[in-house]
Chain A
Amino acid sequence: MNPFHEPALMIGLTLGVYLWGQQLFLKYRKSWLNPVLVAIILIAVVLQVGRGKVEDYLEATRPLVFMLSPTVICLALILYEQTAALKKKALAIVVAVCTGGLVNVVVGVYLSRWLQLPEPFVQAMSTKAVTTPIALELSKALGGEASLTVAFVLLSGIMGAVWGLPFLRRVGVQDEMATGLAIGTVSHGIGTARVQQESDLMAAAAALAMALNGLFTAFYLPYLYFWL
C-alpha cells in the first residue's frame, strides 16, 4: 500500500496539521504561524521523510480541493452582512482595487523582464494576484504553463496572508476596510481566509477585492499582456 495515495489518510493528515497550525496561531498570535503555511511545511516534511510523491498526495486530496468552489459561493454571506458599509464606498473600492491590481501586473511584468526571467515566469507573474481558477483561464489565453501559474498564485497568496497584515500595520495603515481590500487584491482567497480571523468588515472587503480584481484582470489582461 502506498500511504500517500490513500485519500482518507492524506486528507486526515492535512486536516490534522492544519488544526494544529490553527491552535499554534491562536495560542501565540504570530503571523508566521499561519495554519496554511504550517500545514504546507509539515506535509512537505512528511513527504520528504516518507519518500512520498507530491503527485500522489495531490491526487489523494482532490476531494478536499473540490470544496473550494462552494466556499467561494459562501463568501456572498460575508459580503451581504457588510453590504451597507461597502455600498457607501463603492466607487473608492472599485477604483482602488483595480488600480492596485493593475500595478501588480504592470510592475510584475516589467521587473521580471528586466531581471531576465524566462517567459513562463513573466506570464505567471502577471496572473499571480488573481484567484486560482481565473489565473488558469488567463494562463490558457496567454499560452502559459498551467501548473507554474498556480504555483505563483499560491506563493503570492501565502506571502500576503502571512506578511500582509504585519506589513500594512508597520507602515501605519489602520483602516480595516483598506487593509482588507489590499489583502484581497494581492492574495485573493488565502488572504481572505486569513483576515476572517481579524474582523467581518476586513473579511468582506477582502472577499470583494478578490472578486473585483479577478473580474477586472480577466477582462483586460489578455489584451494588455501582448502590449506590455
Chain B
Amino acid sequence: MDILRGLFLIFLFWATGDTISQLARLPIPGAVIGMLALWVALQLKWVSYATIQPSAKGFLAIMGVFFVPPSLGILLHADRMLQYGWKLALLVVVTSALSGLTTVLVFKLLNR
C-alpha cells in the first residue's frame, strides 16, 4: 500500500510541477519545481515522510542508471567533438575545477 501511495504522491508532485512550469511559462522544468514543492510539503507535514520513503528510496538507489542512455547520445557528436578534442577536454576540466573551487571557497569564507 505504501509503495502505491508513495508512487501516487511522486507523480502528483511531478504533474503539479509540470503544470506550474507550463502555466507560468517558466524555463524551470516541472520535476525541479515538483522537488522543491515536495520538500516544502514534507516540512509542513502535508506529506508524511514514512509514506513516501519506501518508493523514493527505490528511485534514488538506481538514479545513476537513468543517465546512461542520454550519455550515449554523446556518440552522435563524437566526430565533431574529436575535431576539437584537446580544447574541449581542457575547457571542461578547467571550468569545472574553477567552478567547484569557487563554490567551496565562497562557502568556507561565508561560514567563518
Contact = CB atoms under 8 A, between A and B. Distances in A.
Interface in A197-222: 207, 209, 211, 214-215, 218-219, 222
B27 A141 contact: yes
Given A73-B10, A97-B103, A151 B76 contact: yes
B52 A77 contact: yes
A69 interface: yes
Contact of A181 (B14, B31, B68, B107): B107
Contact of A178 (B59, B62, B87, B108): B108
Contact of B64 (A47, A128, A186, A194): A194
Contacts of A219: 27
A151 B104 contact: no
Interface residues of A, number: 103
A207 B31 CA distance: 13
Contacts, number: 279
A207 B32 CA distance: 10
**Central interface residue in A77, A150, A173, A178, by most chain B CB within 10 Å:** A77
A77 B65 contact: no
Contact of B35 (A128, A186, A211): A211
**Central interface residue in B28, B74, B87, by most chain A CB within 10 Å:** B74
25 contacts: A35-B65, A39-B68, A47-B72, A64-B66, A71-B63, A73-B13, A74-B60, A75-B60, A77-B56, A80-B43, A83-B43, A96-B103, A97-B103, A104-B99, A112-B87, A115-B84, A117-B87, A125-B95, A137-B29, A160-B100, A167-B100, A168-B104, A175-B107, A178-B107, A185-B103
Interface of A: 14-15, 18, 35-36, 39-40, 43-44, 47, 54-55, 57-58, 61-62, 64-65, 67-80, 83, 89, 91-93, 95-97, 99-101, 103-104, 107-108, 111-112, 115, 117, 121, 125, 128-129, 131-134, 137-138, 141, 147-148, 150-152, 154-160, 164, 167-168, 171, 173, 175, 177-179, 181-183, 185-187, 189-190, 192-194, 196, 207, 209, 211, 214-215, 218-219, 222
- Sort A-B residue pairs by CB-CB distance and give the 7 closest, nearest first: A100-B103, A133-B29, A104-B99, A76-B38, A96-B107, A92-B110, A74-B56
